[in-house]
Amino acid sequence: MKISPVQLKQLMFKRVHVALDERHMPVHGGAPWSHVALFEGVNIATGFGIDTLAIDAEPGLHYMVSLQVQVDNVAVPEANDQRFAPYLLDLEAAGVVTVPPGTEKLAPPEDLAAVNGAALLWSAIREQVLALTSRMPAGPAMLPTVHFHDLKRQPQAAPTPAASEAAAAPAVAVATARKRVRGVRAATKPA
């Protein structure tokens, strides 16, 4: 075992809402507490944000990362085999992630903070959902294990001189917007 170079320094929940969706109560034999609800085929909406923090007291780069997770059980017409969860979820977690000096040889620091930070926050949200639903009428529910490699920045082609002039003013706004929010809504199926 080795300590990860990317460290979660602080974790906080900004919003935690878990409610029973009586329209989608599971039908199964046995006691409800003997069944763990899984989210396979359920549409889970996620939103991710990342911002650089200026912390001079510690070496390395510091980021504030946030992750929102929602299950609203709204039918998606193009989803042929959509399933529904017994719970409606709306959670948001945030945390401070530190990437120490020298880690840039592994990957760009912001990519390390985004991919690892989102995974750390997902784990906290996943555990919170399991803990809260363990005492609810439909029984415990566990979010799936996922990865966040799609949060890596995409390489950008070198701009042409004309495009550089035209894009000079909005370039800051585009870069800022990219850092602020990354999101996805997808059915949970194995990759």
3-state secondary structure of 40: coil
Buried b (16+ CB within 10 A) or exposed e, 20-53: ebeebeeeeeeeeeebebebeebbbbbebbbeee
- 41: domain range? 7-187
Residue 184 confidence (pLDDT): 45
Q: Return the structure tokens found at 95.
A: 């945390």
How many beta carbons lie within 10 A of that of residue 72, not counting itself?
14
Residue 87 confidence (pLDDT): 94
Residue 31 confidence (pLDDT): 54
CATH of the domain at 141: 3.10.420.10
CB 68 within 8 A of CB 47: yes
Q: Tens digit of pLDDT for each residue in 64-110?
A: 999 999 999 998 888 788 889 999 999 999 999 999 998 889 999 99
Q: For the purposes of burial, counting CB atoms within 10 Å of the CB of 66, is it exposed (0-12), middle (13-18) or buried (19 or more)?
A: buried
Query: Average pLDDT, stretch 5-31?
Result: 86
Per the domain annotation, does 56 fall within a domain? yes
How long, in residues, is the chain? Answer: 191
Higher pLDDT, 27 or 58: 58
Per the domain annotation, does 1 fall within a domain? no
CB 24 within 8 A of CB 73: yes
Per the domain annotation, does 72 fall within a domain? yes
Residue 169 has pLDDT above 80, yes or no: no
> At which residue do the structure tokens 């109560």 appear?
25
Per the domain annotation, does 2 fall within a domain? no
Residue 124 has pLDDT above 90, yes or no: yes
How far apart CA 152 and CA 85 sit, in angstroms, is 29
The count of structural domains within the chain is 1
Q: Return the structure tokens found at 109.
A: 């620091």
* Beta strand extents in 54-155 (DSSP E only): 61-71, 87-99, 141-142
Residue 8 has pLDDT above 90, yes or no: yes
Residue 74 confidence (pLDDT): 92
Residue 44 confidence (pLDDT): 93
Residue 32 confidence (pLDDT): 52
Query: Average pLDDT, stretch 29-41?
Result: 65
Q: Among the listed ranges 40-49, 58-67, 150-159, 181-190, which one has the minimum average pLDDT value?
A: 181-190
Query: Average pLDDT, stretch 42-55?
Result: 93
Residue 173 confidence (pLDDT): 25
Cα separation values, 130 from 24, 74, 145, 180, 188, Å: 18, 22, 13, 28, 17
Higher pLDDT, 94 or 25: 94
Q: Which helix (H) or strand (E) holds 181?
A: none
Higher pLDDT, 166 or 17: 17
Q: Which residues lie below 8 Å from residue 83, measured CB to CB, with a gap of 6+?
A: 40, 41, 42
Per the domain annotation, does 139 fall within a domain? yes
